[in-house]
Amino acid sequence: AMEDVSAKFVSQKISRTRWRPLPAAALQPPDLFATGSWDNEDNRISIWSVGDLGNAGLNGEYHGEPRLLCDIQHNGDVMDMQFLDQERIVAASSTGTVTVFRHHQNNQTLSADHRWEKAHYHVDQDTSWGGAACTGVVCNNPEIVTVGEDGRINLFRADQKDAVRTIDNADSSTLHAVTFLRTTEILTVNSIGQLKIWDLRQQRNEPSQIFSLAGDRVPLHCVDRHPNQQHIVATGGQDGMLSIWDIRQGTMPVSLLNAHEAEMWEVHFHPSDPDHLFTCSEDGSLWHWDTSTNVSEKPSFLHQGGRSTAYLSHSTMNQSVVSAWLSNDPTKDRMEITNLIPNQTLSVNSLDVLGPCLVYGTDAEAIYVNRQLFA
């Protein structure tokens, strides 16, 4: 519900928001997130605290806005950003540079740990080495994979100076996003509506599989993989359409779901409760897609019931509703779809979910934190 959301206007357009990952077996909700900005003369990576539970009210509800812990200048727009581990953040820049920042928690400062200058570049006819925007980054410590407008795929290791592997001209159109399918395979989406699987063990500079939207080749902007069932992949397109793919079969999406009226910038399965999926868009909306089937047991965002004490309670249900995302007609009585931001006008560029917490950032220069998604 909206009243659980705290907002802060930050005087910079936010391109990315990311929760700091929780240590294994942690029970407490996340308390720290990072943001990246874009289209400012001076762009920044910032670390925010959402306070401890000591500040929470009697009913466990959280009041008070996010607090800035530290920030650091970032050269160019922050195009994408991922936590490598609890202390390091990898940022993709519009200049083509990829930077690893370290968050020093003892004195609350940020520093640049390592930088791959112009990891993405164009071989321009006039100037020889123009940087090309790095559009996507994904981490699986210590590995970092980046993609860019130059159609290039880079594989870095956090501790190595040079790229471990580079696939030049991997794609003739712009690569918009990347994610890990398995430890050695990655998924990319591009501006001609293709989803590609790359096996990094193979030396061939070709994708091992290509999936494609039928009809108009609507560009795809984001991709995420189901955390437990790796064959289920969700992508978001320029027309705001959510596509669900089963990469075991066929070359076309299993279902196309219409929600947003403009570019879908990010799509995320809930990491521990993947019946829930979240998408945000240029049209200023943020949708929650809920496929948990048992309506009576399902916690709803719509009614304010009692507090939810265990946000992980659904993971046990997953086994029985294995293919909720792959059903032929997911819209039919199986999915509840809720817009979490009524009346927003400017783009929601990024969102992240972890535990009961949602954080998102907008072009209206505000960040929002909802600490009670499943209340």
Tokens 């779809």 belong to: 337
Q: Which of 4, 71, 143, 363 binds other proteins (CB under 8 A)?
A: 363
Tokens of 231: 């064959």
Q: Which range in 26-34, 56-64, 83-91, 120-128 contacts other proteins by CB under 8 A?
A: 120-128
Return the residue of 172, 309, 319, 328 that touches other proteins, per CB under 8 A.
172
Among 143, 149, 224, 290, the residue binding other proteins under the rule CB under 8 A is 149
Beta carbon nearer to other proteins, 160 or 169: 169
Compute the least distance from the CB of residue 147 to other proteins, in Å. Answer: 13
Report the residue from 17, 46, 99, 194 that binds other proteins according to the rule CB under 8 A: 194
Report 196-215 residues binding other proteins (CB under 8 A). Answer: 207, 210, 212, 214-215
- Stretch 256-315 residues interacting with other proteins (CB under 8 A): 262-263, 282
# residues contacting other proteins (CB under 8 A): 53
Residue 343 engages other proteins in binding (rule: CB under 8 A): yes
Q: Which residues bind other proteins (CB under 8 A)?
A: 9, 11-13, 38-41, 77, 79, 94, 122-126, 130, 132-133, 135, 149-151, 169, 171-174, 191-194, 207, 210, 212, 214-217, 219, 238, 262-263, 282, 343-347, 363-366
